[in-house]
């Protein structure tokens, strides 16, 4: 099931480039970010007391199955954790949740607009003759990366 649209394509921007920019931001962040969306995720069982969901903002948890058994009244946090005694089975936990921010954050919309605007410019910042390497200018600067990092999922070991 595809993620919900962020918003109508801003005037003057190419629809395909806009979709690609939003997809790139969502890919970098590791989840859809917004708007709120209900989906079912299947996760590897951690075998520990806390299950970390692939989100930063849970609005509701509709159902949880642990190794096929329904978990009654699961204790969950808005930040994306569920307490319980979890299976160690790969793909052993299924969670149906509503998650994401009510709207796609304005700072990420601004970054998407700058990505679309930079798509046609794509300048070269460095050329190395020896190994034939070329470095392209990035449309995302340090401030924009810092903004996206606030919404990025943390990779667990």
Tell me the pLDDT tens digit for each residue of 86-101: 999 999 999 999 999 9
> Residue 129 pLDDT more than 60?
no
Q: Among 76, 92, 95, 85, which Cα is nearest to 48's?
A: 85
Would the pLDDT of 49 be above 70? Answer: yes
CA angle 3, 113, 58 (to 5 degrees): 35
Asked if the model's pLDDT at residue 119 lies above 70, the reply is: no
When pLDDT is cut at 50, 70 and 90, the band that residue 26 belongs to is very high
**Stretch among 6-15, 62-71, 95-104, 108-117 having the lowest mean pLDDT:** 6-15
Name which of 6, 22, 20, 35 is nearest 111 in CA terms.
22
Q: Span 56-76, mean pLDDT?
A: 97
Average pLDDT over residues 36-49: 96
Q: What does the CA dihedral 20, 80, 90, 24 come to, rounded to 10 degrees?
A: 10
Report d(CA 121, CA 21) in Å as an integer: 15
* Percentage helix, strand, coil for the chain under 3-state DSSP, each rounded to 5: 25, 25, 50
Q: Is the pLDDT of residue 124 over 90?
A: no
pLDDT at 130 over 70: no
What torsion, rounded to 10 degrees, do the Cα atoms 111, 115, 118, 123 define? 110
Tell me the pLDDT of the chain averaged across its residues: 86
* Max Cα-Cα span within the chain: 63
């Amino acid at each position: 099931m595809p993620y919900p649209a962020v918003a109508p394509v801003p005037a003057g921007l190419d629809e395909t480039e806009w979709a690609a920019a939003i997809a790139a931001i969502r890919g970098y962040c590791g989840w859809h970010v917004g708007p709120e969306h209900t989906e079912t995720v299947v996760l590897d069982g951690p075998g520990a007391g806390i299950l970390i969901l692939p989100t930063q903002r849970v609005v509701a948890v509709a159902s949880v199955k642990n190794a096929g058994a329904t978990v009654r009244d699961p204790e969950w946090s808005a930040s994306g954790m569920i307490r319980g005694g979890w299976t160690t089975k790969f793909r052993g936990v299924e969670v149906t949740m509503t998650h994401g921010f009510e709207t796609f954050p304005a700072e990420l919309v601004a970054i998407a607009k700058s990505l679309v605007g930079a798509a046609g410019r794509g300048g070269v910042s460095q050329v190395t003759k020896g190994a034939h390497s070329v470095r392209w200018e990035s449309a995302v600067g340090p401030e924009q990366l810092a903004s996206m990092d606030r919404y990025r999922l943390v990779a667990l070991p």
